[in-house]
Amino acid sequence: MFHTAKAIYPSIDGLSDNALIRLENLHSFNIVPFSSSTVWRKVRTGDFPSPIKVSAGVTAWRVGDIRAWLDAPATFRSRGNTVANGVQR
């Protein structure tokens, strides 16, 4: 039987900072109050944590990075990829 992450962990509280969470779980856990497009726009501008590429079709965020964003979303600046003058670094 297949179990979703939400069935096993109803929130990110039970996960370690090194655990990975996918975009659909950011929505299903009600962590982000905005659309997927807005998540990606905020990643590009550094206003949301940068994800990591797990495999060719899988991208996920470290739970610790999400917690850092949740602590201060208005002042969060990503330490990962940022966009300056339209150039991704």
CA–centroid distance for 14 within its chain: 16
Q: Residue ranges of the domains in the chain?
A: 5-78
- For 42-86, how does the pLDDT look when each residue is reduced to its tens digit (9 = 90+)? 999 999 999 999 999 999 999 999 999 999 888 888 876 543 333
User: In sequence order, what DSSP letters do the residues of 47-66 get, joined into one string?
Assistant: SSPPPEEEETTEEEEEHHHH
- For 14-48, how does the pLDDT look when each residue is reduced to its tens digit (9 = 90+)? 889 999 999 999 998 889 989 999 999 999 999 99
Strands of the sheet containing 52-55, edge to edge, are 20-21, 58-62, 52-55
Question: Rounded distance, CA 31 to CA 11, Å?
Answer: 9
**pTM exceeds 0.95 for this model:** no
